[in-house]
């Protein structure tokens, strides 16, 4: 009679990891959809679609939970939102120009930079293994750098996006008294306004406007990108609420593996000889930095993406 009950603790123990695995799949799908949309339009349109869906979802959840929206204060909120907006721009340019797995590898390097930037921003001096991790990651980035203007800039901006993500997360760690949905709403609204400004300065091409009108698949891709990003965010948040943040975070790196599968099956991509070692040089130190992260900083990552 006791046998059926014995499986319950195991299921409960696995729940956060399964939730994070679902989140990793969702983010890999998001990246794949963004990459596919990038063949028809500029990255600005993809990024604004993702941020707009996130803003609407966050506003709905904030209202549902009866939380208060925030705007001017505290100032750290603007640090998080502006750095996060820069991250969105960098990341979606990288996703539009690089193979999805390559872009996600660079984007998910932020735990290493959190450890480094904690020195000037929080006064925590990095240890020797942090600098060793930085050296490994930089070697991986150099190996991953591809010739060609778009791919080269995509690599550099994916790398830059991981740094701005780290700045946003350190700012997020200092916003514990504010409802997470209100933080996401503020960040997404700032991101949408920033991207509108970018589009005003550098208008969308006639080709993009033509594709929007004559390619029904493009608006569907844009909306789906935002929806899967929202699903991934919800699953990620639930995973962090249900399990140990550091160990659950490592599972999120599996999105690179899923993205490699999508790259192969959708675009018949074959890895160049230097790519796999480059990815390992970036992902292994990243996983190590997540696992060694002091208790408390891991929770901040739950609202990162």
Higher model confidence: residue 15 or residue 255?
A: 255
Average pLDDT over residues 44-63: 88
Per-domain residue ranges for the chain? Answer: 14-298
Q: Are 286 and 137 in contact (CB under 8 A)?
A: yes
> Residue 252: which pLDDT band, with cuts at 50, 70 and 90?
confident
How many helices (H) does the chain have, and how many strands (E)?
13, 0
How is residue 156 written in tokens? 């550099």
pTM: 0.83
Higher model confidence: residue 227 or residue 240?
A: 227
**Predicted local confidence at residue 297, as pLDDT:** 44
High-pLDDT (> 90) share of the chain, %: 25
CA distance 200 to 121: 33
pLDDT at 295 over 60: no
| pLDDT tens-digit map of 97-152 | 889 999 999 999 888 888 888 787 777 788 888 898 889 989 988 888 876 667 78
| pLDDT tens-digit map of 198-222 | 999 988 888 888 888 878 888 999 9
E-assigned strand segments in 54-146: none
**Predicted local confidence at residue 12, as pLDDT:** 66
Mean pLDDT of the chain: 82
How is residue 205 written in tokens? 């091409």
CA distance 41 to 207: 7
CA distance 227 to 258: 18
Q: Are 236 and 252 in contact (CB under 8 A)?
A: yes
The position carrying tokens 């709905």 is 60
CA dihedral 122, 127, 129, 130 (to 10 degrees): 20
CA distance 90 to 153: 10
């Amino acid at each position: 009679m006791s046998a059926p009950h014995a499986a319950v603790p195991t299921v409960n123990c696995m729940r956060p990891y399964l939730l994070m695995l679902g989140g990793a799949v969702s983010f890999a799908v998001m990246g794949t959809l963004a990459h596919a949309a990038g063949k028809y339009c500029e990255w600005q349109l993809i990024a604004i679609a993702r941020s707009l869906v996130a803003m609407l979802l966050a506003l709905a959840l904030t209202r549902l939970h009866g939380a208060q929206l925030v705007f001017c204060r505290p100032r750290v909120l603007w640090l998080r939102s502006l750095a996060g907006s820069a991250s969105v721009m960098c990341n979606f340019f990288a996703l539009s120009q690089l193979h999805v797995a390559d872009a996600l590898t660079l984007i998910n390097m932020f735990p290493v930079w959190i450890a480094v930037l904690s020195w000037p921003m929080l006064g925590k001096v990095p240890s020797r293994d942090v600098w060793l991790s930085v050296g490994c990651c930089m070697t991986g980035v150099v190996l991953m750098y591809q010739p060609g203007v778009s791919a080269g800039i995509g690599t550099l901006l994916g790398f830059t996006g991981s740094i701005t993500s780290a700045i946003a997360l350190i700012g997020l760690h200092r916003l514990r008294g504010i409802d997470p949905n209100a933080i996401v709403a503020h960040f997404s609204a700032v991101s949408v306004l920033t991207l509108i400004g970018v589009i005003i300065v550098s208008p969308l091409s006639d080709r993009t406007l033509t594709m929007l009108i004559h390619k029904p698949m493009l608006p569907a891709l844009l909306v789906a990108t935002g929806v899967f990003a929202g699903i991934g965010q919800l699953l990620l948040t639930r995973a962090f609420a249900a399990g140990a943040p550091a160990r659950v975070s490592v599972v999120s790196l599996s999105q690179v593996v899923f993205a490699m599968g999508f790259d192969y099956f959708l675009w018949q991509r074959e890895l160049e000889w230097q790519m796999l070692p480059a990815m390992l040089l970036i992902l292994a130190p990243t996983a190590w930095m997540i696992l060694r992260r002091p208790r408390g900083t891991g929770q901040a990552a739950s609202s990162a993406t």
